[in-house]
A and B are shown apart, each in its own frame.
Chain A
């Protein structure tokens, strides 16, 4: 049973969250860009939108961050692809895995299960042999932890 005192506490917490969250998102965006540059090697602005050619399959809501299935399927011919990477914005180490493909693969496809610290964008990044980058991303909500 919730009494008046608890209610006020909750409201207070809610207000704090509401007031601080815009600031958090701004600093968060540049933080992600910094991480992106560090782990992928190019600034995010150099990476083109590849959502029309890369199919990224991941759940919208993951009950546990310990085991999130991710599958990448792409129409880009495998002969043109150098590597593909799974990148999770809010992980302590965002570069989850990098996969070098060869024409022996026959098709650009990769699936695995990853760990996620909290709700975050999951990105599939493809580096093509001509030096261009493509990415597709999807937000996965992780329900462990409070204010997700």
Chain B
């Protein structure tokens, strides 16, 4: 899969106002910039996600400052709650100017 692709997982039944777990994985090499290429001895340039925002219906839920020490193809999980049906959007960018977003609709009962 291409760099920047994300997969989001949310529970099927979300109760109004009750926190649920939002989990997602992003395909990204997460090169920290401190590792050396074993053949050439040169530093491998950094290439990792730096910022990540989670919004629900346009309202800010969580912001993350991501460092290079998060594993490759990072997995994140946070709790969040919803009072109405809507869209969770995750937007993220890396230090080489890549910008992506991914959204998922949730039903709230």
Across the interface, do B61 and A92 meet the contact criterion of CB distance under 8 Å?
no
**What is the bound-complex CA distance between A113 and B76, given in angstroms?**
8
User: Known contacts A102-B60, A102-B61; is A109 also within 8 Å of B67 by CB?
Assistant: no
Q: Is A61 an interface residue (CB 8 A)?
A: no
Across the interface, do A112 and B70 meet the contact criterion of CB distance under 8 Å?
yes
**What is the bound-complex CA distance between A96 and B65, given in angstroms?**
9
| B52 CB → nearest A CB, Å | 9
Q: How many residues of A contact B (CB 8 A)?
A: 29
Q: How many A-B residue pairs have CB under 8 A?
A: 92
Instruction: Provide the residues of chain B in CB contact with A66, threshold 8 Å.
Output: 71-72
- Secondary structure of the B contact surface, majority rule: strand
Q: Is A106 an interface residue (CB 8 A)?
A: yes
Q: Is A140 an interface residue (CB 8 A)?
A: no
Instruction: Select A110's contact among B63, B72, B77, beta carbons within 8 Å.
Output: B77
**What is the bound-complex CA distance between A79 and B81, given in angstroms?**
13
| A101 CB → nearest B CB, Å | 6
Across the interface, do A105 and B76 meet the contact criterion of CB distance under 8 Å?
no
Across the interface, do A112 and B81 meet the contact criterion of CB distance under 8 Å?
no
Q: How many residues of B contact A (CB 8 A)?
A: 29
Across the interface, do B80 and A106 meet the contact criterion of CB distance under 8 Å?
yes
Spell out B's residues near A (CB within 8 Å): 18-19, 21, 30, 32, 34, 56, 59-72, 74-81
**What is the bound-complex CA distance between A111 and B62, given in angstroms?**
13
Across the interface, do B19 and A88 meet the contact criterion of CB distance under 8 Å?
no
Residue of B nearest to A98 (CB): B65
Instruction: Provide the residues of chain B in CB contact with A67, threshold 8 Å.
Output: 71
Q: Is A115 an interface residue (CB 8 A)?
A: yes
Instruction: Select B75's contact among A92, A100, A109, A112, beta carbons within 8 Å.
Output: A112
7 residue pairs, one from A and one from B, having the closest CB atoms: A106-B19, A106-B81, A111-B77, A113-B71, A107-B79, A100-B63, A109-B79
**What is the bound-complex CA distance between A55 and B77, given in angstroms?**
15
Instruction: Provide the residues of chain A in CB contact with B19, threshold 8 Å.
Output: 105-107, 109
